[in-house]
Amino acid sequence: MIKFRLVFIALLIISFHFISCSQSSQLTKNSELYNWLISQKDFTIKKIESDSEFAEIYEIFIEQPIDHSNPEGPKFKQQFFLAHRDKNLPVVIELDGYAVNYRQNELSRLLNCNQIIVEHRYFGESVPQPFDWKYLDIRQAAADHHRIIQRLKEFYSGKWLSTGISKGGSTVIFHKRFYPDDVNASVAYVAPINFSVDDNRVYEWLKTVSTPECRQKVKNFQRHILINRNIYFPKFIEEAKKKNYEYSIVGLERAFEYCVLEYSFAYWQWTSGGCDNIPDTTESKDIIFGHFKDHAGLDYFSDESIKSLHPFWYQCYTEYGYYAYDISQFKDLLKYADGKTFFFIPDSLQLEFNPEPMKDISNWVTNYANNMIFIYGGNDPWTSTGVCLSGKTNSLKMILPGGSHQTKIRNFPASDKKLIYSKIEDWLGIKVDNK
């Protein structure tokens, strides 16, 4: 019996030794990227299960200064996702304007290269503590992105392309303005450069979008909702209860009217083509309201939505700009909405918009920004505040007729795609996989 126990113990020791050796051997087989990442003292990394597109994927938090002019001061952790193919291939870095999750973007797929997606400071998991609004500006965010790029260049030897969509596209422009040598090329999708908190280029643009018949149909639909508020306001309340939307910030009646005003902007922002899907006012009330709630975004003016986007609204009312609503066609039907959107600002903040940063950005893009491609949709209201090029640079602006805020390179006709691809190939020195 004693002999059996001794043999059993010996076998256990051998087994543990074998397991330990196997684990040690496994550790030595970790990839070059993984070993480099864990050697970075200010990185916190988590490996994500790889997909068919990438060999390795990581969620990473990098320690950043809250104030880059005081690098030894308080820090915060900024989230980004790294998807790896090969250290010698180009890197596409997506600079988002909000919180992020991992996904693959259009350009890393086209270029078969590495990809980074960066969360914007003050959003999602990247919120500084102690919290101070004054460090949420375009220069501080650009410095975040500069620092991430410089750190990853220690590992990756290929060329770099920055990209982003909507506010992320604007973020790409801001970063390129302050750090023009960080990347070899940039593709900014549907990126506005707004000049005020109520940039009237937006609603002037809405007077010319599409065809006169379609614009009239949109206006008629909005007026129909307001004229029949005794029918549609109760439906609005019912839908809000169903979705648990609350409107204490804006007010229930005012939120309803603002949804009607927002309808025209949102309809053209997200709809490609004409207006055939707008129901006639002779349709059933359920069909009409169904279309209204699907396109006006009833949650947009809810408390939860406004609070979740406080960092965005802060940026809008300090540097980034926004739009208001032209109520001239609806004055006779409005009881609460005045077209202004200052209710988006947190009550505790006394903000003053500074127009100089966007004027500087616009001038720089027009006259000095090279190796940039700007993608816009022909129906998208944000195209009204898009960049203007003068021909003084090699940059390219492409507008897809009838395109929405979801316009991508793949949506363009073959001849336009060929032009876009040729620019990217020249700037990065690689072949675009456009199959």
At 160 the pLDDT is 98
Say whether pLDDT at 10 is over 70. no
Say whether pLDDT at 28 is over 50. no
For residue range 298-307, list pLDDT tens digits in order: 999 999 999 9
Full DSSP string of 42-89:
TEEEEEE---SS-SEEEEEEEEEESSTTSTTS-EEEEEEEEEES-TTS
Answer whether 318's CB lies under 8 Å from 353's CB.
Answer: yes
Q: Which residues are within 8 A (CB) of 135 and not within 5 positions of it... i.e. 6 or more apart? A: 66, 67, 121, 128
Is residue 329 located within the same domain as residue 281?
Answer: yes
Q: Among the three residues 294, 309, 344, which one is the final residue of a domain in this structure?
A: 344
What's the half-sphere exposure (Cβ side, CA atoms, 13 Å) at 227? 9
Q: What is the CATH number of the domain that holds 82?
A: 3.40.50.1820
Query: Does residue 186 sit within a domain?
Result: yes
Q: Which domain holds residue 215?
A: 201-344
At 431 the pLDDT is 87
Say whether pLDDT at 348 is over 80. no
Query: Does residue 134 sit within a domain?
Result: yes
* Number of domains comprising the chain: 2
Is residue 278 located within the same domain as residue 315?
Answer: yes
Is residue 116 located within the same domain as residue 241?
Answer: no
For residue range 214-255, list pLDDT tens digits in order: 999 999 999 999 999 999 999 999 999 999 999 999 999 999
Is residue 41 located within the same domain as residue 147?
Answer: yes
Is residue 333 located within the same domain as residue 395?
Answer: no
At 6 the pLDDT is 38
For residue range 143-197, list pLDDT tens digits in order: 999 999 999 999 999 999 999 999 999 999 999 999 999 999 999 999 999 999 9
Percent of the chain with pLDDT over 90: 87
Query: Does residue 26 sit within a domain?
Result: no
For residue range 123-146, list pLDDT tens digits in order: 999 999 989 999 999 999 999 999
Is residue 107 located within the same domain as residue 43?
Answer: yes
At 269 the pLDDT is 96
Say whether pLDDT at 90 is over 70. yes
Structure tokens at 16: 């543990």
Query: Does residue 22 sit within a domain?
Result: no
Is residue 119 located within the same domain as residue 157?
Answer: yes
Query: Does residue 59 sit within a domain?
Result: yes
Is residue 189 located within the same domain as residue 212?
Answer: no
Structure tokens at 4: 């059996």
Query: What's the distance, Cα to Cα, between the start and end of the chain in Å?
Result: 71
At 29 the pLDDT is 63
Say whether pLDDT at 315 is over 60. yes
Instruction: Give dist(CA 200, CA 145) in Å, integer.
Output: 31
Is residue 377 located within the same domain as residue 416?
Answer: yes
How deeply is 188 buried, as exposed, middle or buried, from its count of CB atoms within 10 A (0-12, 13-18, 19+)?
buried
pTM score, whole prediction: 0.92
Q: Among the three residues 344, 367, 394, which one is the final residue of a domain in this structure?
A: 344
Give the residue-averaged pLDDT of 109-128.
97
Neighbours of 297 (CB within 10 A): 17
Instruction: Give dist(CA 324, CA 346) in Å, integer.
Output: 17
User: How confident is residue 274, by pLDDT bands cut at 50, 70 and 90?
Assistant: confident
Is residue 207 located within the same domain as residue 280?
Answer: yes
Amino acid of residue 42:
D
Q: Among the three residues 311, 344, 377, which one is the final residue of a domain in this structure?
A: 344
Instruction: Give dist(CA 260, CA 331) in Å, integer.
Output: 12
Percent of the chain with pLDDT over 70: 93
Query: Does residue 3 sit within a domain?
Result: no
Strand 91-95, strand 114-118: pairing: parallel
Residues paired with 115 in a beta bridge: 83, 92
Instruction: Give dist(CA 315, CA 16) in Å, integer.
Output: 57
Say whether pLDDT at 416 is over 50. yes
User: How confident is residue 23, by pLDDT bands cut at 50, 70 and 90?
Assistant: very low
Query: Does residue 90 sit within a domain?
Result: yes
Instruction: Give dist(CA 177, CA 359) in Å, integer.
Output: 12
Say whether pLDDT at 434 is over 80. no
At 5 the pLDDT is 41
Is residue 275 located within the same domain as residue 225?
Answer: yes
Answer whether 366's CB lies under 8 Å from 387's CB.
Answer: yes
Q: Which residues are within 8 A (CB) of 342 and not within 5 positions of it... i.e. 6 or more apart? A: 197, 317
Say whether pLDDT at 329 is over 70. yes
Region label for 297, one of left (φ > 0), alpha (ψ between -120 and 50) or beta (otherwise): left
Residue with more model confidence, 17 or 421:
421
Query: Does residue 271 sit within a domain?
Result: yes
Say whether pLDDT at 66 is over 50. yes
Amino acid of residue 71:
P
Residue 119: helix, strand or coil by DSSP?
A: coil
Find, among 237, 81, 53, 73, the residue nearest to 148 by Cα.
81
At 92 the pLDDT is 98
Q: Which residues are within 8 A (CB) of 166 and not within 5 positions of it... i.e. 6 or more apart? A: 97, 189, 190, 191, 192, 382, 405
Is residue 368 located within the same domain as residue 409?
Answer: yes
Give the residue-averaged pLDDT of 38-54.
94
Give the residue-averaged pLDDT of 340-361.
90
Inter-axis angle of helices 212-227 and 252-270, nearest 10: 160
